[in-house]
Amino acid sequence: MSIDATSRAPLRHLLLEGERNTWPRLSPDGRSVVFVHTTDAGPELWLHGANGARRHLISHHGETIGDLRWTPDASALLYRHAPRGRERWALSHLRAPDLTPSPLVEDGSVIEYWLSRTAPGVVVHSSRTAAGVGLFRTNLDGGTERLGDQAGFHRLLVDGDLRWRGGVRLAEDGSVRVLLGPDADSAREVLAIGVEGAADLSVQGFSHDGRRLYLLTSDGAATRRLLSVDVGTGEVSTVFAHPGLDVESYPIAGEGVWFDPVGGEPDVCAVLGQRLGYHALTPGPEPVLAGLTADPDVPGVIIDRSADDRTWLVVDVHDDAPIEYRLLATGTGVSTPLFANRPELLGRPLARLEDFGFTARDGMPVPGYAMRPRHGEPPFPTVVLVHGGPAGRDWWRFHAEAQFLAELGYLSLHVNYRGSRGFGKAFRTAGDGEWGGKMQQDLYDAVEEGVRRGLVAPDRVAFHGSSYGGYAALLAACTRPDLVRCAIAISAPCDLVALTAEPPPYWQALAVRLRHQVLQPHQGPPLDAEELRSRSPAHVLGPDCAPLLVAHGVRDPRVAAAGVDEFVSRARGFDVPVRHLRFADEGHHVRANANRRVLFAEIEEFLEVHLADH
């Protein structure tokens, strides 16, 4: 689409496009930024140079690109890529000075990779092998050495000198063991994490001297905290903990922990309640954090830091404008603008995101947000946008789908129902065993609260979600047609009985944890098969089900397309109005612009038919 055509395009058409510029990474010298630029054909890697000039590096049309990292001397850029929807990652790199592309691992087996602080021409990666997880060392100039197979580990631990230091092992009961040692045979357990704490475990890596391992978990605490494990003694100490919120940031910024690039120790942690908050762990970053943004309503989110820490890559998050990236000189506080993720939306009038918290019927405080249309008066026809996970969450941010709905005249509710992450372990584990139970009831309570406040038209409510959110939308349509006039479900699991009895291969490694989350309430006995059927759209579907729009990617490794197809066939057998979209080149998410145009055109027409006031 040309710039002139973009300027004339209706706003709702621009909102359904995917992000154009995403996942930037700062070069170690702080002068250049590489980023993913997405066209209609697919993603490409581009470089924003020191002089502001931009150039195309390589295209991966029809694929997904992620996990971009520079070698410490900027002699190469590494990244993972996979066919769209497949989630089987290859590893490639671009070599300086001309950033010539070259593949490193092409078989789609790469799990993760590590770069050396002292040997920039070497990469170590873990891959799926017949024996389990294999560890490999590759010279960027050519040649790969197999370091061995580490059977029984879910994840391997490698330090900044590319030495195997241990691994994370899943136990039969869903708990996790962290082991450290010189080799797999002599590794000793230094940390045992229960199943509830294992759900939010994230290994952050080793200190520069290799003496400490840092990780995040809520095990043994009320919130997800940053821990330090002394490699020599096994002693565990708390580096940072917030009394009510988990350590967390926006997804584009990692897990909410930043390390001093010079000394290698953690120096900043973030928590994300209704808004983002930073906590300096050392005096060094305090003045930079204080001047990170001039507007308290526009969070400045740390993305990356140069090797000398003199330059930070920051993104400014808006609710009514696209997010904008900039370089921040830490010594002077001067910012250099880079680009927006959705440049075609700059200057366009957009709706605002407001806080929408309430108390559920059992007394549980439930946080969330709402976006009302820019025009019209309440009560509004309403779409409940149900996030996935279910241990995901909604953030204060630019929300393209909500903006799209607002432009069509619909209010949207964004409910961080119990089970959502970020608000402490008790709130997250309150969702255990509550698929279709109290988590679902929180969504219904949100609608009732919106009606009470005069925002929501009670007879014009739709549910819309992907993954778990799609499941919740289907269940609402099947069991509460009195409340939900229609539902939109994308990549939705339909049958909890099948999901827990025979999880798809994608979930096999985490099958115990998945079963615990679905079957085991925080208090009380596990759910039996009868209860699971009563909470499964596939088993409660009947002729009274509200009209449905169901979309799915045929390549989805997480939710088998066959189960969704069967659900749609049975719904049509009951004469339930169903629109069914199958995308042959998508997986668990609908990413391609061409497919998004089809999907959102269908959503617009579907809501016009079933939700608009005629």
Active-site annotation holds for 237: no
Q: For residues 38 and 18, is the Cβ–Cβ distance under 8 A?
A: yes
Radius of gyration of the chain from its Cα atoms, rounded to whole angstroms: 24
Cα-Cα-Cα-Cα dihedral sign, residues 142, 143, 148, 152? positive
Name the active-site residue from 219, 319, 445, 556.
556
Q: For residues 281 and 268, is the Cβ–Cβ distance under 8 A?
A: yes
Question: How many Cα neighbours within 13 Å face the side chain of 335?
Answer: 16
Measured from the Cβ of residue 64, the count of other Cβ atoms closer than 10 Å reads 21
Written in H, E and C, the secondary structure of 464-517 is: EEECHHHHHHHHHHHHCCCCCCEEEEECCCCCHHHHHHCCCHHHHHHHHHHHHH
- Cα distance between residue 517 and residue 504, in whole Å: 16
- Cα distance between residue 586 and residue 591, in whole Å: 7
Active-site annotation holds for 467: yes
- Cα distance between residue 567 and residue 584, in whole Å: 18
Measured between alpha carbons, how far is residue 236 from residues 184, 217, 227, 263 in Å?
21, 12, 7, 21
50: burial class by Cβ within 10 Å (0-12, 13-18, 19+)?
exposed
Tell me whether the omega of the peptide bond preceding residue 97 falls within 30 degrees of 0, making it cis.
yes
- Cα distance between residue 277 and residue 118, in whole Å: 34
Q: For residues 13 and 24, is the Cβ–Cβ distance under 8 A?
A: no
Tell me whether the omega of the peptide bond preceding residue 24 falls within 30 degrees of 0, making it cis.
no
- Cα distance between residue 51 and residue 37, in whole Å: 19
Active-site annotation holds for 56: no
Phi-psi region of 137 (alpha: psi -120 to 50; beta: other; left: phi over 0): beta
Name the active-site residue from 81, 208, 588, 610.
588
- How far, in whole angstroms, is CA 97 from its chain's centroid? 33
- Cα distance between residue 242 and residue 269, in whole Å: 10
Name the active-site residue from 467, 495, 516, 589.
467
Measured from the Cβ of residue 243, the count of other Cβ atoms closer than 10 Å reads 9
- How far, in whole angstroms, is CA 229 from its chain's centroid? 27
Which residue's structure tokens are 């900027």? 74
Helix (H, G, I), strand (E, B) or coil at 350: coil
**Residues taking part in catalysis:** 467, 556, 588
